[in-house]
Each structure stands twice: as C-alpha cells, then as structure tokens.
Amino acid sequence: MKIMIAYDGSRNARLALAQTITMFRDLKPVITLVAVAENPRDITSGNEDLFQQEVADLKGHLAEAMEVCQQEQIAAETMLLEGDPRKMLLYAAEKKIHPEMLVIARHSHEPDGGFIARSLTYFVDELDYMTFGSVSSFLARRIQCPLLILPSR
C-alpha cells in the first residue's frame, strides 16, 4: 500500500506518522513523507534567511521521521517541495506520488486548558475555516484518493 503523509515535523505530524504505522503496518505500506516550505512573500534578505531556516528545519524533521520508519521497519522516502502547502501537497499526490491514501494531521492551535480555552479554540478554528480555509479542507475538496485526516489528540 502506498501512503503519502503530509509531514511538517509538528507534534500532530509525528502523531499522524505513528498512527499511520500502527494502523497500516500489516499492509506493508510504502510511506512517502512530504514536507512543503512556504515561499517567502517578498525577496528581502530577511525573508530569504527565514526561508532557508525553514528548509533546514524541514530537512531535519524528515530525517527524524525516516529514522522512525527505519526503526519500525517501514519502507519510506521523503520529498521536500517549495510553495503553497495546499497546492504542493495536491501536486505531489496527483502528479508525483499517486498514493492509495493521503494522511494529514488536523492542524490545531488547541492549548491545554479548560472550557473557556477550548471554546475560544473552536471559535478560532471556525473563523479560520470560514475566512482562510485550511490545508485539510482544501485537500478534502480536491484530492482524488482517500484522505485520512487524523485528529490532534
């Protein structure tokens, strides 16, 4: 089974990798970890430095994920792209990898906290969805393979 995982090294992405390995280990998956570095909006030297730092961080995260896959004896490869994450993940899935399943972790700004913090988080999530959309909602509307969106808990 060929599985593509959108991977940015975040806590949620690491959980998604672990859950994917747990769920699909018996199917002997070949996992492709795809990270996307967002292009800077302008070409000032400060933005270029931040972009290069992001690329270096993503390479480090992908290397750590590859170690996890090797320890778990799961065949894996990585891909690092540049651009809009939504569009580049769609491009990678449909033009490069052709996975049987795309796995993404639901991005969450959820803080640890009580009722008020959770309520504010839900409000912000809804506002984010209504105004900007999200990577998962963008892909859910366009991807041509099964999409597994894993919660962040």
pLDDT reading at 113 higher than 60: no
pTM of the predicted protein model: 0.82
Return the minimum-mean-pLDDT range out of 48-57, 76-85, 120-129. Answer: 120-129
Domains of the chain, by residue range, sit at 2-150
More confident residue, 30 or 50: 30
**CA-to-CA separations, 51 to 28, 37, 54, 81, in angstroms, rounded:** 35, 7, 5, 12
